[in-house]
Amino acid sequence: METELLKKSTGLVLSLFIELLTCSGQNYQWAKSIGGILYENSMDIALDNEGNIYACGQFEGTIDFDPGPGVSNLTSKGFTDIFVLKLDSAGNFLWAKSMGGSSNDIGSSIALDDSANICITGYFSDTVDFDPGPGISNLTSIGFSDIFVLKLDSSGNFLWARGMGGSSYEVGISIGLESTGNIYVAGHFFGTADFDPGPETNNLISLGSADIFILKLNSSGNFIWAKSMGGGAYVSVSDMSVDGFGNVHTIGSFSNEIDLDPGVGTSILTALDADDIYISKLDSSGNYLWAVGIGGFYPDYGTSIAVDNSGNVFATGLYENSVDFDPGLETFYLVSYGRTRDIFILKLDVDGNFVWAKSIGGNDSDSGASIAVDGSNNLYVNGSFSWTVDFDPGDEISNLISNGLSDIFILKLDSLGNFVWAKGVGGTSSDGSNNIALDGNGNVYTTGTYREIVDFDPGEGVSDFTSEGSTDMYILKLGPTIMAVLENSFENGLTIYPNPTSSIINLDMGTSYDELYIVIRNQLGQEVLEKSFSGANPLQFNIEGTAGIYFIEISSGNKRATLKIVKE
């Protein structure tokens, strides 16, 4: 009889697992919309240790930056101005600041130090007052546009601003910090540009139509070093990631031939035909470590890069047709679905050697915009997709269908590139995401632009927002999976944590029991652990086995409970 009951219980668990599988993943927390009748774009997002959210970008005209019932209007001084926005962890407005002049000024990237001081880069033209308060701190561009680095405190008060450039066109694209507070900036420049914002001069000269630069400043904005790489007809940098040792990783695209060693040596990459992808690594002094090139006979673009605590490198972007993603002597080809542009996700080891690559796409163009890695080395990618796309790069199918021309996606893979979940949001027009950020509690944030009406709840609920102008900005927060209680006849509440877990499970029964039995099964119903406890609470045990979904069966006398948990 006990065996038959166990079989029925296992069957119930498995059937419930199948039912729950389609709705597993992150849960909608909130979305916030900000915009006016003209143009605005949220380019980047960052989080502090208290869960506050910071965003930067550009806007035009008058915008109410308070997404709640309050009003906090900012008005651009020129065509587009730079903005910095701070929300709390619940999405409530804290403050917004703007900086700009009579021309186009853009905030491209944002990063925070350990004290939640804010560092931003981008570009500006003409004269701009970078102090958002009553003070004045003017910078004047030398050429058409110059690079800026701006530092504010956590309340948005001005600390300092620096400008770098030459007589042509210079752009700051990405900013990163190391633990000491030193600041790294990557971007593009043309011709001759002085990268020392102080009284000294440190000129770099582009060898091609445009080269990329990496600049290092200390926490006070003083010059440390600057390096340039390039030399081909075209080279661009899309993103930069600084690891815990101050090593600088960049990703972008190039054509023809480029040299990615900024020193006296050479590291020549040659594009096969059109634009190819490059990934490079420098040490904290700007010395060359390695560089790799990846591409085929159609345009391929690297858009974002992230590094885990072991120095492994993860990248995303888009590719077309057939591409060998192994930059070494071996080959590993991915072929885009329908020969259109698809999303790639690539993992290299600390020395730039190939580990794995995954492809995701459908019959239309799809693109990965940003990638992030959590403390368990899970990957999160956002971007845009059209029509029907299978987001499981493995043998299974997990289709998302766009509501309009292009929708927003958020994808989670484990450290081996296996599918965990995917979510899509969008309306009948074109919606996109620019960047993604993670906190230590399993929450996922993404930001970008949307048009017309969009339901930002990827689940069964509805959270509609309507843009005021042609495009508005959004910030979306998804929370971690809530534990599924499939069955519970215990009078006291059950608490299990952490969920997801890497191995160790803590179970709080609310009280102790003389005899308590625990059985853990995998998703196939196979028993992986059986254990008994007496008079103890809370309980701790270890889940052996591979990553996946597990079911914990708890019994004491005639009381039963079944819980679902995820092992990462």
CATH number of the structural domain spanning residue 241: 2.120.10.30
What confidence score (pLDDT) does residue 485 get? Answer: 57
143 and 80 both lie in a single domain: yes
For the domain that residue 495 is a member of, what is the CATH number? 2.60.40.3080
**What is the sign of the dihedral through the CA atoms of 352, 299, 373 and 507?**
negative
What confidence score (pLDDT) does residue 504 get? Answer: 86
What confidence score (pLDDT) does residue 8 get? Answer: 31
413 and 527 both lie in a single domain: no
Contact 193, 207 (CB under 8 A): no
What confidence score (pLDDT) does residue 248 get? Answer: 99
220 and 318 both lie in a single domain: yes
Work out the average pLDDT over 6-11. 33
Q: Is residue 32 part of a domain?
A: no
Residue 89: how many CB atoms within 10 A of its CB?
17
Q: Is residue 531 part of a domain?
A: yes
Q: Is residue 27 part of a domain?
A: no
Average pLDDT score, the chain: 91
Q: Is residue 28 part of a domain?
A: no
Q: Final residue of a domain: which of 449, 479, 509?
A: 479
How many structural domains are present in the chain? 2
Between these two residues, 279 and 26, which has the higher pLDDT value?
279
Q: Final residue of a domain: which of 448, 479, 510?
A: 479
Alpha carbon 481 to chain centroid, angstroms: 19
Q: Is residue 30 part of a domain?
A: no
122 and 13 both lie in a single domain: no
503 and 445 both lie in a single domain: no
Q: What are the structure tokens assigned to 441, written together?
A: 């509690």
541 and 429 both lie in a single domain: no
Strand partners, 8: none
What confidence score (pLDDT) does residue 17 get? Answer: 37
44 and 141 both lie in a single domain: yes
502: left (phi over 0), alpha (psi -120 to 50) or beta: alpha
Contact 263, 288 (CB under 8 A): yes
> In the predicted model, is pLDDT for residue 440 greater than 80?
yes
Q: Final residue of a domain: which of 479, 501, 523?
A: 479
256 and 241 both lie in a single domain: yes
Between these two residues, 10 and 78, which has the higher pLDDT value?
78
Q: Which domain holds residue 88?
A: 38-358+368-479
Q: What are the structure tokens assigned to 405, written together?
A: 């021309």
pLDDT band at residue 186 using 50, 70 and 90 as cut-offs: very high
Between these two residues, 455 and 208, which has the higher pLDDT value?
455
Q: Is residue 29 part of a domain?
A: no
What confidence score (pLDDT) does residue 489 get? Answer: 72
Q: Is residue 464 part of a domain?
A: yes
Q: Is residue 33 part of a domain?
A: no
Work out the average pLDDT over 538-555. 86
Residues 214/215/219/221 CA torsion (nearest 10 deg)? -150
d(CA 194, CA 173): 17
Q: What are the structure tokens assigned to 71, written together?
A: 């009003």
Task: List, for residues 38-84, the tens digit of each pLDDT value.
Answer: 999 999 999 999 999 999 999 999 999 999 999 999 999 989 999 99
d(CA 174, CA 42): 14
420 and 552 both lie in a single domain: no
What confidence score (pLDDT) does residue 506 get? Answer: 82
Task: List, for residues 482-541, the tens digit of each pLDDT value.
Answer: 545 566 777 666 777 777 788 888 887 778 888 888 989 887 778 888 888 888 888 888
d(CA 323, CA 335): 7
Task: List, for residues 133-177, the tens digit of each pLDDT value.
Answer: 999 999 999 999 999 999 999 999 999 999 999 999 999 999 999
446 and 488 both lie in a single domain: no
Nearest C-alpha neighbor of 566 from the set 510, 513, 496: 496
**Up-side HSE of residue 462: CA atoms within 13 Å toward CB?**
4
527 and 427 both lie in a single domain: no
Q: Would the pTM count as exceeding 0.85? A: no
> In the predicted model, is pLDDT for residue 24 greater than 60?
no
Q: How much of the chain, in percent, has pLDDT values that exceed 90?
A: 76
Task: List, for residues 228-241, the tens digit of each pLDDT value.
Answer: 999 877 899 999 99
190 and 98 both lie in a single domain: yes
